[in-house]
Copies of this chain bind each other. A is one copy, B any other.
Amino acid sequence: MKEIGIGVIGTAFMGKAHSIAYAAAGTVFGDGLRPRLEMLCDIDAERVRAKQAEMGFARATTDYRDVVADPAVELISICVPNAMHREIAVAALAAGKHVWCEKPMATSVAEAEAMLAAARGSDCQTLLGYNYTQNPLVRAARDLIDEGAIGRVIGFHGVYDVDNEADPERPFSWRMSREASGTGANADVMCHLVSMAHLMTGSEITRVVGDYDTVHRERRDPVDPARLRNVDNDDVCMALAHFASGIKGTLRVSRVAWGRKCGLRWEIHGAQGMICHDQERLNEIQLYTRSEDPRQQGFRTILSGQYHEPYAAFLPNAGHGLGFIDVKVCELRQLLRAIETGEPAWPAFADGIKIERVMDAIDRSALSGEWVDV
């Protein structure tokens, strides 16, 4: 196996998930590039030293520029706050490093455009961390659609509900301020749903009408609980959408939906069937196809199995279950292959900017009250 030198920037949840994926990939797939953990970066010197040892990196630094400049590093993971994505990605690509960047791509379309320009100006591969789209079962569903299992696609309808901010007693945070963090559920949650809409339809959203709701308009200041702070971005974001292919759909997300932990649920309607998925049951899809015998017709609950590529690299038999981190390994696999073959993975920066533009269009529509073009 040929090796590839890895740098990871950021050591929180996503930095950790990327590092686990890098450590597993060689064993899981047994072919292709084998990641070699070169350098870990975090702005906290003490933390990065501790994590280097835990995670098994050869070197550590507090300055991302060290990673970018390191000749042994060939692929860089960007797992830091969104506001830093542009700067690091542009530097890494300029230095000829491949980039695996967490989602969303950036904090504005302009930033995303700068990142895309840097990617286009390089020979490097990029991949955005829209992990739910990398689930082997979701990709198998995509294949089945391509093969005609549900006929012509006629609609996409998706919801992504979480309850991160559902408790009205949760104190105010920077995430609840438009000035500090931009849109709310639109930025944080909608991007996942748009990525899924684009993947599953094989098309792109071109026109939307959106609406926002802020259901908990005041929250206590975290330091001075007697002081109420204004929440001025969206707890809930809803849109009607038109796609380039001519189909229509609906999108809805909420960060205040009690009981939904990772409630990304979508349906793709076809002229001859339907496929549905619920991320909280990530090892199942529901498939309805027409049946000769109406007495036997119904939605089929399909469990992840060895026939859903690359499940077999993890587990020999169906029903044993992949987890979030396994799917992160699948995601990495896409990027490693892109690096080997020169064929871009999905969603690369060129795909991610289309997601950013949809969120931007929803924002413009929600503020203006009009249908807008993406």
Q: Is the CB of A300 within 8 A of B303?
A: no
Judged by DSSP, the binding face of A is mixed
Instruction: Give A248 Cβ to nearest chain B Cβ, in Å.
Output: 4
Instruction: Give A98 Cβ to nearest chain B Cβ, in Å.
Output: 21
Closest chain B residue, CB of each to CB of A28: B20
Closest chain B residue, CB of each to CB of A259: B288
Q: Is the CB of A27 within 8 A of B19?
A: yes
Of A166, A168, A281, A326, the most chain B CB neighbours within 10 A belong to: A166
Judge whether A65 is part of the interface by a CB distance below 8 angstroms.
no
Q: Is the CB of B26 within 8 A of A144?
A: no
Q: Is the CB of A144 within 8 A of B302?
A: no
Given contacts A27-B16, A323-B314, A324-B321, contact A261 B303 (CB under 8 A): yes
Of A51, A149, A157, A167, the most chain B CB neighbours within 10 A belong to: A157
Count contacts on A: residues with CB < 8 A to the other chain.
102
Q: Is the CB of A303 within 8 A of B298?
A: yes
Q: Is the CB of A280 within 8 A of B258?
A: no
How would residues 255 to 274 of chain A score, 1 for a CB under 8 Å from any chain B CB and 0 otherwise? 01111111100000111111
Stretch of A116-124, A192-200, A209-217 lying at the B interface: A209-217
A175 to B106, CA, bound (A): 48
A351 to B143, CA, bound (A): 46
With A29-B54, A300-B301 already in contact, 4 other A-B pairs whose C-beta atoms are closer than 8 Å: A20-B27, A238-B250, A258-B290, A325-B326
